[in-house]
Amino acid sequence: DTEHESALEITGGLAYEVSPNIALGVEYRHHRIFENIYGKELAQATFIGPSVNVQGSSFYFTLNILKQVTGNPHSGGNLDLLNHENYEFRTILGINL
């Protein structure tokens, strides 16, 4: 038996540069899971949280800690804890070549 699903994710954020090498900000992420190719919606969750960006002349590193603020189907208050985590820790490492 095989199952197919698709996902849609929207991510955005705002940051304030506190020095030439450090920026502090907030990130928003909305993730939706669909049956087949964008068929019936199976689950969705919205996350928000702080981010820190450090950059040098040849690299940058970003750390985000996101908390689920709403989700569906509800499995823990108004959160979807069956298909999504309560907290997400995300990192990005970029290297200029």
What pLDDT, on a 0 to 100 scale, did the predictor assign at position 50? 98
Tokens of 12: 């955005």
What pLDDT, on a 0 to 100 scale, did the predictor assign at position 1? 75
Residues of the chain scoring pLDDT < 70: none
Is 22 in a helix, a strand, or coil? strand
What pLDDT, on a 0 to 100 scale, did the predictor assign at position 39? 87
What pLDDT, on a 0 to 100 scale, did the predictor assign at position 97? 87
The H or E element containing residue 43 is strand 41-55
User: CA angle at residue 66 from 48 to 71, to 5 degrees?
Assistant: 65
> Side chain identity at 29, as an amino acid letter?
R
What pLDDT, on a 0 to 100 scale, did the predictor assign at position 83? 93
Cα of 20 vs its chain's centroid, Å: 25
